[in-house]
């Protein structure tokens, strides 16, 4: 036998007749529980919305309070400005003068600080210059000491070398000095002889010139040009002959290499072994040569 539920009018398993709950009742209970839960959620959402609205109202009230405070401050400032505008002109002028005095004082202080900075910079420069000078003095003193020590060491080394010198070297030096003294004495003698001969030759030349002048005076009828020519030729020949005779006493001590014309008007002393003459050489006085003479050009003595 199939039972029918009196509420849902659906067939059931007969549990309803035995006093148990039908399946539709359970479904309805579940629906009621879900509806209760939805209502609870709605109430919670409503409470949250109310909380948010209250927070917004609180924020709005806070903004209004801030706005009122700002307006109050603005009114206070306006009142203060109005009171300040009502201040006497003398007070304003006095404040302006005080500010001007303060500006001048600050400017004076700035100038004083600048002057102090310049003075300190100048003192620093002077101190740096003095320190540099002191360092230079110390450096020079150190260099002088080092130079003195170096000279002393050099002298000590030289003395040591001189002490270690062989006796043969000393003897050889003595012999060379004696030989040099002999050569100087011989040169002095030869120089004296040459000077004496030169004076004699000059006297002889002057005598010949006087003779020629007398001869020219006697030959007044001759052509003046030819007379001068004969005089020059005769004088040149006499000097050439005299030099050829004198050339035997030529002593050479050093080599002389002549690359261009040389005009000598005084005595020439050569101290090497050979003389190489590559160009013309004009000698107007005595020449002392000791050695061979190599001539590769014209020589006028």
DSSP element (H, E) containing 300: strand 299-300
Q: For the stretch 262-296, what's the b/e string if a residue is b when 16 or more beta carbons lie within 10 angstroms of its beta carbon?
A: eeeeeebebbeeebebeeebebeebbbbbbebeee
pTM of the entire structure? Answer: 0.23
Token pair listed for 225: 């040009």
Give domain limits for the chain: 3-82, 87-156, 249-301
Residue 300 backbone dihedrals phi, psi, to 5 degrees: -115, 115
Per-position pLDDT tens, the chain of length 301: 445 555 555 555 555 555 555 566 677 778 888 999 999 999 999 999 999 999 999 999 999 999 999 899 888 888 888 777 777 667 777 888 898 999 999 999 999 999 999 999 999 999 999 999 999 999 999 999 999 999 999 998 888 887 777 667 777 888 899 999 999 999 999 999 999 999 999 999 999 998 988 888 888 766 544 444 444 444 343 333 333 334 444 444 444 444 444 444 444 444 444 445 444 555 445 555 555 555 555 555 4
Q: Which residue has the tokens 């002593």?
A: 251
Q: How far apart are CA 263 and CA 300, in angstroms?
A: 9
């Amino acid at each position: 036998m199939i039972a029918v539920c009196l509420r849902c009018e659906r067939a059931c398993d007969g549990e309803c007749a035995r006093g148990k709950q039908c399946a539709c009742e359970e479904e309805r209970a579940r629906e009621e529980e879900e509806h209760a839960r939805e209502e609870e959620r709605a109430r919670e959402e409503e409470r949250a919305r109310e909380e948010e609205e209250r927070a917004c109202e609180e924020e709005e009230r806070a903004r209004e309070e801030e706005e009122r405070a700002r307006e109050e401050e603005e009114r206070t400032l306006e009142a203060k400005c109005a009171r300040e505008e009502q201040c006497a002109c003398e007070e304003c002028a006095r404040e302006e003068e005080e500010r001007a005095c303060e500006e001048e004082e600050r400017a004076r202080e700035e100038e004083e600080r600048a002057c102090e900075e310049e003075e300190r910079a100048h003192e620093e420069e002077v101190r740096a210059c003095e320190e540099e000078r002191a360092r230079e003095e110390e450096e020079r003193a150190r260099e002088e000491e080092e130079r003195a020590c170096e000279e002393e060491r050099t002298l000590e080394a030289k003395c040591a070398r001189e002490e270690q010198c062989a006796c043969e070297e000393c003897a050889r030096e003595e012999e060379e000095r004696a030989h040099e003294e002999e050569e100087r004495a011989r040169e002095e003698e030869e120089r004296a002889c040459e000077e004496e001969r030169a004076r004699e030759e000059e006297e002889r030349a002057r005598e010949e010139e006087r003779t020629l002048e007398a001869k020219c005076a006697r030959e007044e009828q001759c052509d003046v040009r030819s007379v001068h020519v004969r005089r020059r030729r005769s004088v040149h020949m006499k000097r050439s002959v005299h030099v050829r005779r004198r050339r035997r006493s030529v002593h050479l001590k050093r080599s002389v290499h002549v690359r261009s014309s040389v005009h000598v008007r005084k005595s020439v002393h050569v101290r090497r072994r050979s003389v190489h003459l590559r160009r013309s050489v004009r000698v107007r006085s005595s020449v002392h040569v000791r050695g061979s003479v190599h001539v590769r050009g014209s020589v006028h003595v």
